Amino acid sequence: QSCSRIPYIKGVLQQYNGQFSTSVMTRFLSSLEEWLTENRYGRFANLVETAIDLGQVDNGEYRISPLYSSDLAVLKDELSGVENHINNLHMHTATDLDLSVDKQLKLEKGPFGHVFRISKKDEQKVRKKLTTNYIIIETRKDGVKFTSAKLKKLGDQYQSLLGDYTSCQKKIVDNVVQVSCTFSEVHLDKMICSYLFLLSFVTNRS
């Protein structure tokens, strides 16, 4: 994510035409343009896209891409299969409770694993069936969280597979880090630190 911001930093610096534009060009832009070539930045970006499962980043999960390892690919397929079962159960539960998927019956992942959540208002409508066929986990201002025997079983399977995935990718992370380090440029690190240092002065003065 940090790497993806570098082209934006370059664009901002290029727009500057003030008193210190010559210094900015010499100190920052020249080094950036040297680094932002296909042979350097391009290769590094390709490594990131290959090694990291970018589809999970938006979910706040950072995983090694299954394309990077056949073992991870197998586990990824198994995880996807369990996720599909959980999503199908989500829709089935919504039908059972006569609630709309996502809008009224939400599926969440948190400290309790996979759980369903509905508003306290909707809970009053389905209370009888909820207390009979489901397991209420907690009731808060933001709603009622509950699960079922099927969801708990699937959630446990998901967590077990995710644990296997995490253990498997640990063996690969060191290799990815070592390869990433070959793209590290000391002068680029210093340049960005200098930029942030100067930016802090601007922020404090404003």
Instruction: Give one DSSP letter per residue of 51-118, joined into a string.
Output: HB-HHHHTTT---B-GGG-HHHHHHHHHHHHHHHHHHHHHHHHHHHHT--BTTTBEEEEETTEEEEEE
In a domain, 164, yes or no: no
CATH of the domain at 95: 1.10.1420.10
> What is the pTM for the complete model shown?
0.62
More reliable by pLDDT, 133 or 170: 133
Residue located via tokens 């059972």: 96
In a domain, 178, yes or no: yes
pLDDT in tens, 138-157: 999 889 999 999 999 999 99
With a cut of 60, say whether residue 170 has pLDDT above it. yes
Q: Does residue 53 sit in the same domain as residue 76?
A: no
pLDDT of 147 reads: 97
Look at residue 135 and give its three-state secondary structure: strand
Backbone φ and ψ for 41, nearest 5 degrees, come out as: -60, -40
pLDDT of 195 reads: 52
In a domain, 163, yes or no: no
pLDDT in tens, 93-130: 999 999 999 999 999 998 899 999 999 999 999 999 99
Q: Count the Cβ atoms, other than its own, within 10 Å of residue 206.
A: 5
Domain that includes residue 116, residue range: 71-157
Q: Does residue 126 sit in the same domain as residue 183?
A: no
pLDDT of 180 reads: 61
Tokens representing 145 are 């969280």
Q: Does residue 76 sit in the same domain as residue 153?
A: yes
Write the DSSP symbol of residue 141: T
Confidence of residue 203 (pLDDT cuts 50, 70, 90): very low
pLDDT of 10 reads: 66
